[in-house]
Structure 1
Amino acid sequence: MLSSAWRRCVGTGRMNLSLRRGHREALALAREEIGFEMIRGHGMLSDDMGVYREVEWQGERQVRHVFAYLDEVVDSYLATGVRPFLELGFMPEALASGDQTVFWWKGNVTPPRSYPEWQGLVRGTLRHLVDRYGIEEVRTWPVEVWNEPNLSDFWQGADQAEYLRLYEATAHAVKEVDAELQVGGPVLSPGADEWWAPFAEFVTRREVPVDFVSRHAYTSGPAQHVPFGVYQDLRPPQHLLEQFAAPAQHLTGTALAGLPVHISEFNTSYRPDNPVHDTAYNAAYLAPVLAAGGEHVESFSYWTVSDVFEEAGVPASIFHGGFGLLTHGLIRKPTYHLYAFMARLGEEVLAEGVDHLVTRHADGRLAVLAWQPVDGSPVTAADRHHVRLSVPVGAGVRRTGTGAGSSEAPQPGQPRTAFVLRRRVNESDGNAWTAWQDLGRPASPGARHLDLLLDASRPAVEHSSVAVHGGRVELDLHLAQHEVTLVEVEAVRDSTPPWLDDTRIPGYGRP
């Protein structure tokens, strides 16, 4: 069966962004066409969400937890049909022990000055969510403790001992609200596998709750900076799958072995200004990852759903290398189409390879995803790629024999033809980024150019009728450079009335 881990979660940036119409529209579109189930973002407790408030009254400090913005964001998620994947962070300034911040929007990344007050904030927030949405609902929301504490940009000094203290205090606070709430960590960035053993040893020795483990995965190298952007080399896509598999490997033999693994962020580049995110190459690169990632993890969350995103400041151009599957203005990028193609695949996997995934729906329809393999190198890929497949179609097939000598034979009533519909995204088809280049890269396109880009972003569609021989259809797929293609195959039951004769229509007669 095809795992749904690839669409179980998607990233948002920071939660505050969902107060904006453009971000909400992007999430609604992605939910409708792709079916994302959860959404994760930073800054749930940062000052721009206004949750932790301090005032002085009659000479004493008073603390109040205010949930107006948090309620509005979570309400919008649930109304869209998406549940939150909660990340507890960053630190409210009034509760912080220092002034170190990250990103343009200045999320505080220092430990709390008072762990009891931090625990009170965690308990108060979760109790409010339980009161508002119900305990059965909130139990379905993973609760992740912080973000990438192994990096000094995200956790002061990348202090492992201090993070373990934070995790312990937070996990106990979560379980004090309800023992069945899901809590986990340590939310590691790539290159921090040395944290797994100390984390497992610490939580085991001190009997700290852990319901899942999480990490992030990216494959880009050092940033080569240019104004308003970067370029980076990529390691091969298999490296992402190796990162997905790493937590289970490192936790083998520990008390945490077998726990669900969430990849709560992944992409090619970790930068929000790398143009690779806008390209067809990005889609072809990630196709094998989406096809196989569910073999290793419970979820892997694309970072992010929308270019309404501000880690490095307000984007300088409509195409700026943003993480989003969708640009400002809801222009679908090639990687968005990869996800939309995945959403049309069947539940049963019939075959898979380095450049294809063949699936079948419960009603017998076939859906094939094919792509040009790319390896992350800066060398230009070939301008063509050929995929040849023989797929079963029709009333059903029965297998005769077993092993290498087995064969398939058609059942009675096997159709003679099949309908084939193909959607293509490559360097020219379904690619608004290359259309934008052809338009001269307007930073802020007007309404007419936006309409042109929306038109250019639609995948090419073609259809045909093909013969069925021995219960099978032969697919001879020629893919253009960096192409991802979806082919849907459906048996035809001809119900044409005998009196119809298309050759009698002007222009369709035989010579």
Structure 2
Amino acid sequence: MIHVPAEPTGELSDAWRHCVGTGRIELALRRDYQDSLRLLQDEIGFRYIRGHGLLSDGMAVHRPYEWQGARHVHHSFTYVDQVVDAYLDLGIRPFLELGFMPEELASGKQTVFWWKSNVTPPRSHEEWADLVRATVAHLVDRYGLDEVRTWPIEVWNEPNLADFWENADEQAYHRLYEVTAAAVKEVDAGLQVGGPSLSPGADDWLGRFAEFAERRDVPVDFVSKHAYTSGPADHVPFGTHQTLAPAQDLLDQFATPRDLLKGTRLGGLPVHITEFNSSYRPDNPVHDTAFHAAYLAPVLAHGGDHVDSFSYWTFSDMFEEAGPPTALFHGGFGLLTHRQVKKPTYHLYAFMARMGPQLLARGDDHLVTRHTDGRVTVLAWAPVDATGETPGPERHRLKLSVPLKDAGEAFVRRSSVDEEHGNARTAWQRMGSPRSPRPHQLDVLHEAAEPGRRHLRLPVADGRVELDLTLSRHEVTLAEVSAVVDEAPAWADERRLLGGEPR
């Protein structure tokens, strides 16, 4: 029996909901994307959204032209305005990532992703600075300085990888960062700019980035990096399989920037994990499973101990880095499939959104909080075997003594996802894994995606409720405990429903 303290031990960090990732941001122009984001915001409510491609050709910001024998550059913000307007209308702000390189400004031809975005340095740093300055100044002019000062501005994405930055040239990235940060600060010194947006395994860049920033007196307002736990990719047609490290490895990765930057000029700055997930592949079926939700539950419960934010990559399967999705369930990063079918990990986030602000207890398999009105919320998850050598325990029992003030009885609302409940992928497989489900099949899948729900009424003794939770394999469950205020009339008697004798 776990004895949950009656008094809070602190506040529950909401670093888990500070930001969420998205496919290239021009996708925000599409209806399905906006429908998905609206659902997400209604049920979870993220504060910021980050994605690639703000300055790529698909957004058509950088528009060079010839006039009277001379080259000029026009900066167009037609799509930028539509995307940012849509975000703000849905109650979410942009976490701006400045990239990738417009083709007419690029020094080379190397591209990345199905949508072929250029990842070479600018052939003119002056013209790049003009582009950054014009973009940021436009945002300030349209949305107001006070608003845009709240938007973090990140310079590039994973420059330590040759796929994302030509030759993974560290010195070239430092130069790009310096030019970009200066252009941002020319618009307003109070704007937030940071980086270096590193992939896992590149922590040695952090120390050199700090040395560069101090040597050159370059502004850095926050530090960013990414975290994934998957091993080498084993490819199959339109899919990938990988080994996974234990979820604790994600928390260890979250902790490294602060540990490595202690004593440097960047020590003490906010740290943002601007991408995290299990697999770094957008076609790994593990993302669609109940296992995945249980695997990540301890990360959401404990991640705020190490960083200011950690951004799930991504909110939707509307994502085209490896090409458009080839099937409804295809291993996409999203919390939602396209067509807004909720995955088990979506429900993990929705459960976290229903937790209270007062932290009462945490452990390897549970998180207990209280709301200001006295309701107690318990998030519990079954342990998983990340090695895949075993399926994980078939049953996991958790007994808790939960405080509940001023109540004689407790109402318990329990919502669960596991292999059978809140798991549309299971239903999809049983119906034959249709690549393009018909309308009636989509109806079934939306229904199957809803969590299992149960309701209990339990006694309260000495201000405590005993919760006995038995979790199935890969289950994540939310138990919401509130005091019963019985308003049934004195003549209410279930035995009289069919004419029986009253009590």
- TM-score higher than 0.5 here? yes
Between the aligned partners of 1:293 and 1:508, the Cα distance in structure 2 is 57
Mapping for residues 414-429 of structure 1, pairs under 5 Å: 415-429=407-421
**For residue 8 of structure 2, what is the aligned residue in structure 1?**
none
Code of the residue aligned with 1:15 in structure 2: it is I
Contact 2:383/2:393 (8 A) holds in 1: no
Superposed, 1:218-297 pairs within 5 Å as 218-297=228-307
- Residue 469 (structure 2) pairs with residue 474 (structure 1): no
Equivalent position of 1:393 in the other structure: 404
Residue matched to 1:204: 214
Shift of 1:168: 0.6
**Aligned-pair distance for 1:22?**
0.6
- Deviation (angstroms), 1:8: 0.7
Q: CA deviation at 1:215?
A: 0.2
Asked if residue 167 in structure 1 is aligned to residue 177 in structure 2, the reply is yes
Which structure has more relative contact order (CA 8 Å, sep 6+)? It is 2
- Write out aligned runs for 1:134-173 (5 A): 134-173=144-183
- Of the three residues 174, 190, 203, the one matched with 1:193 is 203
Q: Is the 8 A contact 2:493 2:502 kept in 1?
A: no
SS of the aligned residue for 2:95 comes to strand
Structure 1 residue 507: Cα displacement: 8.5
The letter of the residue matching 1:445 is P
After TM superposition, give the deviation of residue 499 of structure 1 in Å: 2.2
Distance 1:509 1:318 in 2: 56
Q: Deviations over 1:82-126 (max 9, x none)?
A: 000000000000000001000000110000000011000000000
| Paired residues of 2:110 and 2:120 also in contact (CA < 8 A) | yes
Alignment of 1:81-160 (within 5 A): 81-160=91-170
Match of 2:308 in 1: 298
Q: Which moved more, 1:291-300 or 1:83-92?
A: 291-300
Structure 2: which amino acid aligns with 1:491? A
Partners of 2:29 and 2:275 in 1: CA distance: 21
- Aligned with 1:484 (options 467, 471, 476): 476
Paired position in structure 1 for 2:57: 47
Distance 1:507 1:331, change over 3 A: farther
Counterpart Cα distance in 1 of 2:93 and 2:16: 15
The one-letter code of the counterpart of 1:246 is T
1:171 and 1:236 map into 2 onto residues whose CA distance is 37
Q: Which amino acid aligns with 2:349?
A: Y
The superposition leaves residues 163-196 of structure 1 with CA deviations (integer Å, 9 ceiling, x where unpaired) of: 0011111011100000000000000000001101
Provide the secondary structure at the position in 2 that maps to 1:246. Answer: helix
Contact kept, 8 Å, 1:419 with 1:492, in 2: the verdict is yes
In structure 2, list runs of 5 or more residues that go unmatched.
1-10
Q: Deviations over 1:178-231 (max 9, x none)?
A: 000000000000000110111000001110000000000000000011111010
Q: Residue type of the partner of 1:355?
A: D
Shift of 1:508: 8.1
Q: For residue 340 of structure 1, give the secondary structure of its aligned residue in structure 2.
A: helix
Kindly provide the CA deviation profile for residues 147-175 of structure 1, in whole angstroms up to 9, marking residues without a partner as x: 00000000000000100011111011100
Once the two structures are overlaid, the 10-residue window that deviates more, 333-342 or 366-375, is 366-375
What is the rounded CA distance, in whole Å, between the counterparts of 1:506 and 1:193 in structure 2?
72
List gaps (5 residues or longer) in structure 1.
Answer: 396-414
Work out whether 1:451 is the aligned partner of 2:434.
no
Shift of 1:58: 1.5
Cα deviation digits, residues 124-146 of structure 1 (max 9, x gap): 00000000000000000000000
The residue that corresponds to 1:406 in the other structure is: none
Query: Which residue of 428, 436, 439 maps to 2:431?
Result: 439
Instruction: Select between 500-509 and 207-216 the one with higher mean Cα deviation.
Output: 500-509
- Rate the CA distance shift 1:239–1:507 in 2: closer, same or farther, 3 A: farther
Query: In 2, distance between residues paired with 1:185 and 1:264?
Result: 10
Q: Which amino acid aligns with 1:382?
A: P
8 Å Cα contact 1:282-1:334 kept in structure 2? yes
**Which of these residues, 320, 324, 328, is aligned with residue 334 of structure 2?**
324
* Corresponding residue of 1:80: 90
Shift of 1:510: 9.0
Secondary structure of the 2:12 match is coil
TM-fit CA distance, 1:498: 1.5
Decide whether aligned partners of structure 1 residues 444 and 509 sit closer, same or farther in structure 2, where only a CA change above 3 A counts. Answer: farther
Identity %: 65
Deviation at 1:502, TM superposition (A): 2.2
Q: Distance in 2 between matches of 1:382 and 1:498?
A: 47
The match for 1:464 is 456
> For residue 408 of structure 1, what is the aligned residue in structure 2?
none
User: Take 1:44 and 1:67, find their aligned partners in 2: how far apart are those partners?
Assistant: 10
3-state SS in 1 of match to 2:482: strand
Shift, 1:509, TM fit: 7.2
RMSD of the TM alignment (CA)? 1.1
Q: Choose from 23, 32, 46 the match for 1:13.
A: 23
Give the secondary-structure state (helix, strand or coil) at the position aligned to 1:22.
helix
| Aligned counterpart in structure 2 of residue 3 of structure 1, from 13, 19, 25 | 13
Deviations 1:289-335 (A, max 9, x none): 00011111111100001111100001110000000100111000000
Report how many residues are paired: 492
2:384/2:393 contact within 8 Å kept: no
Per mean C-alpha deviation after superposition, the further-off stretch among 241-250 and 493-502 is: 493-502
- Distance across 1 between alignment mates of 2:385 and 2:193: 36
Q: Is the 8 A contact 1:15 1:43 kept in 2?
A: yes
Q: How far 1:56 sits from its partner (Å)?
A: 1.0
Shift of 1:377: 1.0
Which TM-score applies when normalising by structure 1?
0.95
Give the residue type in structure 1 aligned to 2:91: G
Please list the CA deviations of residues 327-373 of structure 1 after superposition, one character each: whole Å capped at 9, or x if unmatched: 11100000000000000000001111100000000010001000012
Question: Is 1:370–1:486's contact at 8 Å kept on the other side of the alignment?
Answer: yes
CA–CA distance in structure 2, aligned partners of residues 367 and 378 of structure 1: 31
| Matched-pair contact (CA < 8 Å) for 1:394–1:490 | no
Cα deviation, residue 469, structure 1: 1.1
- Equivalent residue number for residue 398 of structure 1: none
